[in-house]
Structure 1
Amino acid sequence: MPRLSWPLAGLLLAGTMLAATPAFAQQTVNETPTFQEPLDPLVQATGSETPDMTALPGAETTASTGALSDPALTGDQAEALSEAASDNDAIRRTASEGERLNLREGSADATRSNFGDPYEPTGIRVGTFVLRPSITQSIGHERTKAGSTTRRTYSQTGFRGSLTSDWSRHQLIINAEGIYQRNISGTGETEPQARIDSDLRLDLSDDTIANLTAGYSFEREDSADPNAVDGASAQSGVHGFTAGARVQRDFGVIRGTIGAEIDREVYGSVKLANGGKLSLSDRNFTEGTLTGRVGFELSPALIPYLEASIGRSIYDEKRDSLGYERSSSTVVGRAGVEIDLGEKLRGDLGMGYRRSAFDDSRLKSIAALALDGTLTWSPQRGTELRLGLATAIEPSTTAGESGYVSYATTAELTHELRENLVARLSGAYTWRDFRSSGSADQNVYLVGTGLTWDLNRWLALTGDVSYELTSQSRGSDTGVTRAGIGLVLRR
Structure 2
Amino acid sequence: MRTGRADRTASRAWATSAVSACLCLALAAPSPAFAQALTSDLLAPVPGGFVRPDNLPSRRIGNAIPQPPGTLQNTTQTSLLSPQRQDQPLVTPTPAASGAADSGYDALNRKRKPIKYYPGQQKPKRPVGPGSAPPPLIPETRPLPPSSKAAKPPVAPSIAGTVIGQPSRRRLAVDPDPYAPTGIRVGSFLVKSAVEIMGGYSDNPARLLQPKGSALYQIAPELLAASNWSRHSVVVDLRGSFTGYDKEFPSAVLQQVSPSPENIDRAEFNGKIAARIDATRDTRINTEARMRVGSDNPGSPNNRPGLREFPLFTTTGGTVGVEQDFNRFQLKMDALVDRTVYQDSKLIDGGTAPNTDRNFNQYGGVGRVSYEVLPGLKPFGEIQGDVRIHDEQADRFGYLRDSSGGYIKAGSTFEFTRLLTGEASIGYLARKYEDPRLEVLRGLLTSASLVWSATPLTTARFTTTTSIDETTVPGVPGVLTRLYTVQVDHDFRRWLTAIGKFTYGTQDYQENFRSDKIYSIEGNLIYKMSRELWVKAQVRRDILESNIAGASTAATVVMLGVRLQR
8 A Cα contact 2:208 2:299, kept in partner: no
- For 1:121 and 1:405, the matched residues in 2 are separated by 39
Q: Deviations over 1:206-234 (max 9, x none)?
A: 22222210111111211222322244342
When you count strand as a share of all residues, which structure comes out higher? Answer: 1
What is the deviation of 1:379?
Answer: 0.8
Match of 1:162 among 219, 224, 234: 224
Q: Residue type matched to 1:341 in 2?
A: F
Aligned positions of 1:365-380 closer than 5 A: 365-380=440-455
Q: Is the 8 A contact 2:475 2:512 kept in 1?
A: no
CA distance in 2, matches of 1:358, 1:235: 27
Q: How does 1:23-422 map to 2 (within 5 A)?
A: 48-51=157-160, 84=168, 87-90=170-173, 93=174, 96=175, 103=176, 117-144=177-204, 146-185=208-247, 187=249, 189-341=264-416, 343-422=418-497
Given that 1:223 and 1:229 are in contact with CA atoms closer than 8 Å, whether structure 2 keeps it comes out as no
Deviations, residues 235-283 of structure 1 (Å, cap 9, x unaligned): 2211111200232221122111111111221111223343432221110
Contact 1:217 1:241 in 2 (8 A): yes
Q: Deviations over 1:163-190 (max 9, x none)?
A: 1112221111101111123323464612
Answer with 145-154 or 158-167: which moved more: 145-154
Tell me the residue number matched to 2:45.
Answer: none
Contact kept? 1:156, 1:180, Cα under 8 Å: yes
CA drift at 1:478: 0.8
With over 3 angstroms needed to count, the CA separation of the structure-2 counterparts of 1:324 and 1:480, relative to structure 1, is same
How far apart, in 2, do the equivalents of 1:379 and 1:210 lie? 36
Give the direction of change, closer, same or farther, for the CA distance of 1:118–1:375 in structure 2 (3 Å limit). Answer: closer
Which of 1 and 2 has greater Rg?
2
Unaligned runs of 5+ in 1: 1-45, 58-76, 97-102, 104-116
Alpha-carbon distance change, 118 to 295 in structure 1, aligned in 2, over 3 angstroms: closer
How far does the alpha carbon of each residue in 1:124-182 deviate from its partner, in whole angstroms, 9 at most, with x for none? 11122111111221112111153211111122222111111122211111011111233
CA RMSD of aligned residues (A): 2.2
CA contact (8 A) 1:430 1:444 kept: yes
> In structure 2, do the counterparts of structure 1 residues 295 and 147 end up closer, same or farther at CA, with 3 Å as the change threshold?
same
Tell me the distance in 2 between the aligned counterparts of 1:194 and 1:484: 20
Higher-RCO chain (CA-CA 8 Å, sequence separation at least 6): 1
Structure 1 residue 438: Cα displacement: 2.5
Cα contact 1:409–1:430 (8 A) shared by 2? yes
Structure 1 residue 347 displacement after superposition:
1.1
User: In structure 2, how many angstroms separate the alpha carbons of the residues matched to 1:304 and 1:252?
Assistant: 15
Query: TM (normalized to structure 1)?
Result: 0.76
- Correspondence for 1:457: 531
Counterpart of 1:438 in structure 2 is: 512
1:66-123 Cα offsets, whole Å, 9 max, x none, are: xxxxxxxxxxx9xx98xx46x4233xx3xx4xxxxxx4xxxxxxxxxxxxx5422111
| Offset, 1:47 | 8.4
Letter in 2 for 1:470: L
2:46 maps to which residue? Answer: none
Could you tell me which residue of structure 1 aligns to residue 253 of structure 2? Answer: none
Identity score, percent: 25
Asked if the contact 1:224–1:470 (Cα under 8 Å) also holds between the matched residues in 2, the reply is no
Q: TM-score, normalised by structure 2?
A: 0.66
Unaligned runs of 5+ in 2: 1-154, 250-262
Matched with 1:65 is none
Contact 1:142 1:151 (8 Å CA) reproduced: yes
State the aligned residue count. 396
Preserved CA contact (<8 Å) 2:178 2:494: no
Whose helix fraction is larger, Structure 1's or Structure 2's? 1
Q: Partners of 2:348 and 2:562 in 1: how far apart?
A: 35
> In the alignment, is the contact (CA less than 8 A) between 2:324 and 2:331 conserved in 1?
yes
2:291 partner letter: Y
Partners of 1:47 and 1:314 lie apart in 2 by 68
Matching residue's letter, 2:362: E
Q: Deviations over 1:429-479 (max 9, x none)?
A: 1111123x2331010111100111111111111111101111111222111
* Corresponding residue of 2:71: none
Matching residue's letter, 2:160: P
Paired residue type of 1:154:
L
Give the secondary structure class of the aligned counterpart of 1:167.
Answer: coil
Q: How far off its partner does 1:49 sit?
A: 4.6
Query: Do the aligned partners of 1:229 and 1:235 also contact (CA within 8 Å) in 2?
Result: no
Match of 2:9 in 1: none
Contact 1:170 1:202 in 2 (8 A): yes
CA distance in 1, matches of 2:418, 2:433: 44
Q: For the residues of structure 2 that align with 1:247 and 1:300, how far apart are their CA atoms?
A: 23
Q: 1:179 to 1:331 in 2, by over 3 A?
A: closer
Task: Decide whether the 8 Å contact of 1:172 with 1:199 is kept in 2.
Answer: yes
